[in-house]
Amino acid sequence: MANFGLSFPTIAKFNVETGKYSDVLKCGSAINTSVTPNYNEASLFADNRQKESVKEFKNANVELGVDTVPTRAVELLLGHKIEEDGTEISHTDDSGSYVGYGFITEEIFNGIKRYRACLLTKVKFNESAENYKTKGDSIEFGTPVLSGISTSNDEGVWRIKSPYFDSEAECDEWILRKLLGEKPTDQEITA
């Protein structure tokens, strides 16, 4: 299938002790995301030829571009302090939480549009470079980009993809069920 859409970036705090998720929230509106798996590889050569080859998942580089990073997401993802008046304070030893990160792709095959959700089970995000530019003859938007590393959970799972659905709403519910284990209430999801 060819993909041509991306929506609803969703994160939830991952408890490394229990393997459970909490504090589910939508992380702005998606602009782009990329997931690039990295592998450890080794080959054994004997009698002048390759006899064995091993390739194992190491981690995946993750990038998430959004229109805005909500205040709660800044605290959760980056560990920065947000004061009551909205002031954001970054300390040298700030460290965010591991999170589950889900998103929805829109795909088409043989003229039929379907939706599929993807959940990265354990991601640690970091801040990327912040770029600012003065206005010129035309307007250019600058939007936040978060970079991170996805690793596997204790069961060795690093990514889960949903079956194909007919709507974004079904994918969104699938992600929330994976993160919370049941259909969430509106109070469990922060916009």
Average pLDDT over residues 38-50: 93
The model's pTM: 0.87
> Based on the number of CB atoms within 10 Å of its own CB, is 65 exposed (0-12), middle (13-18) or buried (19 or more)?
middle
Condensed to tens digits (0 to 9), the pLDDT of residues 73-107 reads 999 999 999 999 999 999 999 999 999 999 999 99
The secondary structure element, H or E, covering residue 148 is strand 145-151
CA distance 99 to 13: 4
Identify the CA nearest to 178 among candidates 69, 24, 16, 4: 24
Q: Tens digit of pLDDT for each residue in 100-159?
A: 999 999 999 899 999 999 999 999 998 877 777 888 888 788 888 999 999 999 999 999
